[in-house]
Amino acid sequence: MAEGEEQKSMLYRLKPVTDRLPAVVRPEGHVHFRTKMMWVILILVLYFAMTNIAIYGLDTGTGVDLFAQYRAILAGAQFSLMHLGIGPIVTGSIIMQLFVGAKIIKLNLKDDEDKAVYQGTQKLLVLIMIVVEAVPQVYGFMEPSEKFTLNMEGLWGGNGLNLARSMIVLQLFLGSYIVFLMDEVVSKWGIGSGVSLFIAAGVAQQIFTGTFNWHGSNYPDLPVNDTTNPPAGTLPRTIYLFHHMSASELANGGGFEKLMLQQPNPMVALLGTVVIFLIVAYTESSRIELPLAHGGARGARGRYPIKLIYASNIPVILMAALLANVSMFSLLFYSNPGFQDVPLLGSNWALGYYEGTETRADGGLAYYLSTINGLNDWLLPLLSDGYLGQYYAQDKTRIQIGIHVLAYVGIMIAGSIMFARFWIETTNMGPEAVASQIESSGMQIPGFRRDPRVLKRVLERYIPVVTVISGAAVGALAAGADLIGTVGNASGTGVLLAVGIMIQLYDAIGREQMMEMHPVLRGFFGGE
């Protein structure tokens, strides 16, 4: 074996497998803007269709949704083909980024061949993660219906219950892999990222429902009643309460408290959603702009923007998926008989313990890393003994709640910084890659020689620092948004992601239109 081949990563041995995995073919040449928009709309319609296709044979009445807290962020729908959402895709990306970033896997992502191996391995890892996330849920918390089990009894000479569970796992596998292929279609034939598109679509649906839902909040199938079953949506409930309650009842009978603070979808949550929207919109517009001039065309000038949110919202997506997996596996190890005997992890209260049928940890590490859902989850219990007893039946102390807030905010900021640095290096957004991109477009920084090495040194003053600030800012924004709370149970992190994604999609559409009108710009923007 030649010396150069000995230095190649062991992942090259997986190429015979990864090269044969189904994949979306990359387009040859330029794809017109209208075609890209058609694919984005088509995939979006298919996504909503899949969220409304229930898993065949599942007993939804006894099933437990392990991702209930992170449903908006993982872009899935409970007990549907999209039950796992983008979880396996993001988890596979997390693992690959951590291994490459820690140099455990030696791949040079600036090399086209190494990058192809990285992407192929990540695709294989996504398939593995689909199984890893589907099997424990189905065998632990998603029971097949009795009728489905009886119908499967004796089929192919197998046990009915095991066959029924296998069929549910197969449905989850197919649904999740279709989602993965849909993400590839958007990335290669559309605009932006399919993962981001699904998150924004799911969050927008939840916000709309939480704001305008006129069905009863406690009993959706029964008539609305101002005492036991008010409208679930923020605006319908506000109008209903003002219409059916007198001024004295609003002021002294708990009307304003019900309107402003009572779950679900209080007015405070709607105001929080608006505040988060404005903060994210302002933050997304903050940037440093480096002046550029064209080396061959005198007077041709431009600017290269380095956004405050340079690493985009990807670090928060990765952190949310990581915390969702911590929550899922801690519940499995504590509650599922098949995992309770695992050494060190099984039934370990320090990892996380759960009371009753709740999917949110009542203590342990999983509790302190669990997401916070608005003011009712921390501020009101800290200020009022009544709210402390109402929202924390397990006798949580104010110190424990305070530690939970600090731990959650701290882990979101620290984790987002780490993933921001990994993301920049794995997506060719580092100083060297950007310098090469600017140089290849014929542009240069005025006052400096036209040399990629000079450009790299200039960019190294900004990009590494902005990357850390970007990760910290987006992590702090996500945690702060969760502390404020939102309507529709979309979570503050979900709203943060949705707003950032929509702004970035708008910018991407603008760039696509510019490249359509001025083909010379395609090289600068990385187009075909």
User: What is the per-residue pLDDT across 344-354, written as a single tens digit (0 to 9) for each?
Assistant: 888 888 998 88
State how far Cα 3 lies from the chain centre: 42
Domain residue ranges in the chain: 32-213+266-525
- 3-state SS class at 447: coil
pLDDT confidence of residue 5: 44
Place of tokens 């110190």: 399
Question: Which residues have CB under 8 Å from 214's CB, separation 6+?
Answer: 224, 231, 232, 233, 236
Binning the chain into helix, strand and coil, the percentages to the nearest 5 are: 60, 5, 35
Give the pTM: 0.81
Q: What is the number of alpha carbons within 13 Å of residue 53 lying toward its C-beta?
A: 14
Q: Residue 190: is it exposed, middle or buried by C-beta count within 10 angstroms (0-12/13-18/19+)?
A: buried
Length of the chain: 528
Place of tokens 């406690």: 218
Place of tokens 């984005």: 40
Distances (CA, A) of 344 to 340, 347, 348, 371: 10, 8, 7, 25
Structure tokens at 80: 């549907």
Q: Could you tell me whether strands 301-307 and 287-294 are parallel, antiparallel, or unpaired per DSSP bridges?
A: antiparallel
Q: Per residue in 28-45, is it b (16+ CB within 10 Å) or e — as a string?
A: eeebebeebeebbeebbe
Could you tell me how many helices (H) and strands (E) the chain has, helices first? 22, 3
Contact 486, 494 (CB under 8 A): yes
| Averages of pLDDT over each 10 residues, the chain, 528 residues | 56 89 86 91 94 92 80 86 91 85 78 86 93 89 89 78 92 94 93 90 91 85 76 90 82 78 85 88 83 66 80 86 88 84 87 78 90 86 77 72 94 94 82 82 74 84 91 91 86 85 87 70 53
pLDDT digits (tens, 9 = 90+) for 64-79: 887 877 887 888 888 9
- 3-state SS class at 456: helix
Nearest-10 Cα torsion for 384, 231, 494, 329 = 70
List phi, psi (to 5°) of 293. Answer: -135, 145
Structure tokens at 125: 């890892």
Distances (CA, A) of 87 to 74, 271, 499: 6, 29, 20
Contact 467, 424 (CB under 8 A): yes
pLDDT confidence of residue 375: 84
Question: Which residues have CB under 8 Å from 231's CB, separation 6+?
Answer: 213, 214, 215, 216, 217, 224, 237, 240
What kind of fold does domain 32-213+266-525 have according to CATH? Answer: Preprotein translocase SecY subunit (1.10.3370)
